[in-house]
Amino acid sequence: MYINCHSYHSLRYGTIPLDALIEKAVACGLTALALTDINTVTGIYDFITACKNVNIKPIVGIEFRSNSEFRYIGLAQNASGLAEMNRFLTHHNFTNIALPIEAPAFEAVLIIYAFESAPAILKPNEYIGIRPEEVGKLFGYKGDFDKLVILQPVTFRTKKEYKLHKILRAIDNNILLSKLEPSDIATTSEVMVSQERLIAAYKEYPQILSNTNAVIESCDFQFDFDTPKNKKYYTNSRESDIALLTTLAHQGMHWRYGKENPAALARVEKELKVINELNFSGYFLITWDIIRYSNSRGFLHIGRGSGANSIIAYCLGITDICPIELDLYFERFLNENRKSPPDFDIDWSWQERDIILEYIFNRYGYENVAFCGTNVEFKYRSIFREVGKVFGLPKDELDHLAKNPMRLQQNNSVVKEVQEYGMLLEKYPNQRSMHSCGILISEDPITNYTPLEMPPKGFPIVLFDMHVAESIGFEKFDILSQRGIGHIDDTVKLVAKNRGIRINIRDTKISKNELKANSFLSQGKTIGCFYIESPAMRGLLRRLKCDNYKTLVAASSIIRPGVAKSGMMKEYIFRHNHPDQFEYFHKVFEEQLGETYGIMVYQEDVIKIALHYGGLPAADGDILRRAMSGKGRSLTALQKVKDHFFESCAKQGHADALSQEIYRQIESFAGYSFCKAHSASYAVESYQSLYLKVYYPIEFMVAVINNQGGFYRTEVYVHEARMAGATIHNPCVNKSEFTTTLYGDSIYLGFMHLQGLPEKLANAILKERELHGDYVSMEDFCNRVKIGLESLKLLIFIGAFRETGKTKNQLLILASLLFNSSVTDNQMLLLQEAVKEYKLPTLERSRFEDAFDEIDLLDFPTSFTVFDLLQSPFRGDVMAKDLILHHKKQVRMLAYLISRKQVPTVRGTMYFGTWIDHEGNYFDTTHFPDNLIQFPFQGGGCYLLLGIVEVDYHFPTVTISKMAKMPFVPDPRYSDAKDHQYITQENIKEDVSSTSRDPYPRAHEINLPRNKMV
């Protein structure tokens, strides 16, 4: 009888989770139930499965609303009916046209209108829903009783959930709870009652009951969850697909391994057999086709993830990881137990990804391709802010609610109510969004399964997430982007342009285990390199003295938080440095995990132990891995695999206690494990970055800067470029582009880094220069570019007109002469005739003014180093390069802070800092909570540091006992006019002596020499 039920997938309307809705239906004795969420089918597939598990007939449909105004309910009579509704809703989603008041002429959809808004004439498939409270209105009704059906909407379960529903509606409408209109919310009767009670409300009208039963009977939506929904064939048949894949695989094998390689041939034949048996040839070929197009455009890609376990993927050029070299198990990627194809993870530069996406959509059709969706849930901070807002709390109280744990929030009735309902909303879906990278390519029109939405990004999305997609037979293609590939790709292009050298960076022979690159790697000289530039990773590389590719692969895995937290990272470092000071747990661990000193580092290691210790087939080992890592949803399936593991171990003659311990180790490891092929892919990309950094450091750093950096801010990469021999220039109207430009070893920072300069103006400067040549003077510039006085001053302050030969002060006077006092800031007095030459005065300018201008406009100085701006000449007793010689000794250093990371502990928050010393080298510090209370960080800048050096496996850090932030020289731009002159040592002494505050706060505690100045 229930043909209009809402779950919480009716966003900001329904309050009932799907499983709770089914439980309620069972409790009410229902034998049939319809899910009709508002303008979506997000929950229908989980709904169908759950209903069948409890012997309830599932009916699927959509409640159509236009701007929250009810239109009608559609119930799918079969799969064709669902497709009709999906296409109808998709059209209106794409065109932003309001849904019509009357439904279109569907062929396999039953339509139910509300009693008060039904059209006068109904089509054969259309009905009128009559609510229990509306039955009294049927007295004297002149309409056709054959068209009336029971309409008992379900939106919430209890009075409390009714209040929650009202809160959701207020959130959706962005209004106070008290401002809700009756039309904004459901009626209080929209709850599920027993079938007997519902039928009793219509006892005077058995025809309505009969009509409703007929509607339910006519709906028979069947769905095949087992058949893959991805595009079946790349060619036109299974046979031609496997034939093409076989040809391409053998061609690629000759390219990768040469013509005589029995091991590679055997692996290729083995994989082709499994791929053909599982009918996944088309999936491989579609991926190959995407890569082929990418290569034809000259794009660089990185194939990673479990797909790198496949030699076929390697031979097709999808990945650059040799599975034979790294002993990667194909079963980790694909085996006979899988019903759906695994997904390939492929990265492109963030600048080129959209071109790849356009190719996929155009090649395989917008009807058959869409992005996977995702549900964005209410999160802790957003819940209290959103709920508090509808209760009318002011912004400062909302901020307090959002930023503090509940125990620290106010203890009044309103806050308690906000907390109560906020907690109810936790994990509820709040809005739908687009999966960051998952693409579905369907055999049939994708609207057979879901309506589509068109977000601002411009590519359609389905209305369910990746988990639902997989459950109904879709497997996504992960088309990702990252800036690390942009670093590599742009460097190769810059080297070709700047040096005339063409680099085939795809040739891993030049960027894997290269001698000089290995030396940089072991020293942690990896700033700017993908995945290996963070302080933690550079420290790990130094602790391991990592000087080869395989150790880097391991490092890429053990750096992950779970491994570190488990203690395995520490144990791995110990065994790596002391390979003769430990014992293997079992000989199988020595034989199979010898490369990682008997420690399970990769997900593949679970398969190895299950195979070689337990005697399980590799495919069953992968089931064990998936089940333990949460990829397998069924606890029953996990128990079955566990039982099978112990049975097999017993057959191998292993003692039960030993098997139990090994299983415990596998179980504890599986939750945080990392795919070895994934680590290997990261390692290849890291090496490619490192190779370019080692041999072409200036081009590499320009590429990093233009791709908007990585772990660190732009200033650090500019510093790296300077250390590599580059000369850094500020933006220039004749030399700079929007991004940073390289001329030989001269780097001109781009206009994009100039704070306050509108992008539109920057592009106008570049376009005019391209059309009519360089600017010969500032007057010429002002006649050719529409610019306001303030923007012109900004360019003057950064030195963009330095080629004119005039000083900044002279240019500022000239700028004032060029503009009328009556002209607004965004207008300019254009001089169409020759400008009168003025005799400009010579004005003294402090050498520090430029540096402070740069800090304001670029965030960092380029004319000076930050150390040149310090009042103190002290540069530290010990330099970073010598720290390793001072183990357990106290050192006093002066350094510039470039990054810090906070880590919660039971004693409070501790910090790890990364610094640059006066010589430009990096070092790291540790700050414990107790010490930070007395000596806290005080923002960015230079600090005087006192601490004890700890050398941990070749890597020194300084545990800080005291620190003080050091002051810069006074900013001469804000001195009095009489003092606005070149700053001398005497000037600085006078400025310091005249200030009331201590220029070296707490520095006396570190015994800084105080009688020396710049």
**pLDDT, tens digit, 9 for 90 and up, residues 175-193:** 999 999 999 999 999 999 9
Rounded CA-CA distance 421/425 in Å is 6
How distant is the alpha carbon of residue 754 from its chain centre? 27
pLDDT for 62 beyond 90? yes
| pLDDT tens readout for residues 930-940 | 999 999 999 99
Single-letter amino acid code for the residue at 386: E
Q: At what angle do helices 159-173 and 380-390 cross, to 10 degrees?
A: 90
CB-based contact 690:697 (threshold 8 Å): no
pLDDT value of position 988: 31
Instruction: Please tell me what DSSP assigns to residue 968.
Output: B
Rounded CA-CA distance 946/271 in Å is 60
The tokens for 167 are: 């809160």
pLDDT value of position 628: 61
The tokens for 223 are: 């769905």
pLDDT confidence of 237, banded at 50, 70, 90? very high
826: buried, middle or exposed (CB in 10 Å: 19+, 13-18, 0-12)?
exposed
pLDDT value of position 1001: 58
Instruction: Please tell me what DSSP assigns to residue 970.
Output: P
pLDDT confidence of 872, banded at 50, 70, 90? very high
The rounded percent of the chain whose pLDDT value lies above 70 is: 90
CB-based contact 14:8 (threshold 8 Å): yes
Dihedral sign for Cα 176, 181, 182, 185, please.
Answer: negative
Rounded CA-CA distance 19/479 in Å is 33
**Region 779-795: what's the mean pLDDT?**
94
Mean pLDDT is highest, among 726-735, 803-812, 823-832, for 726-735
DSSP string covering 138-188, please?
Answer: GTT--S-GGGEEE---B--SSHHHHHHHHHHHHHHHTS-GGG--GGGS--T
Single-letter amino acid code for the residue at 112: I
> Minimum mean pLDDT among 339-353, 621-635, 881-895: which range?
621-635
pLDDT for 114 beyond 60? yes
- Phi, psi for 957 (deg, rounded to 5): -130, 160
* Cβ neighbour number for residue 236 with a 10 Å cutoff: 9
| pLDDT tens readout for residues 301-320 | 999 878 888 999 999 999 98
Give the predicted TM-score (pTM) of the model.
0.83
Rounded CA-CA distance 912/121 in Å is 74
DSSP string covering 601-624, please?
Answer: -BTHHHHHHHHHTS---HHHHHHH
**Region 758-777: what's the mean pLDDT?**
96
Rounded CA-CA distance 464/441 in Å is 15
Rounded CA-CA distance 526/517 in Å is 10
Single-letter amino acid code for the residue at 988: I
- Average pLDDT for the chain: 88
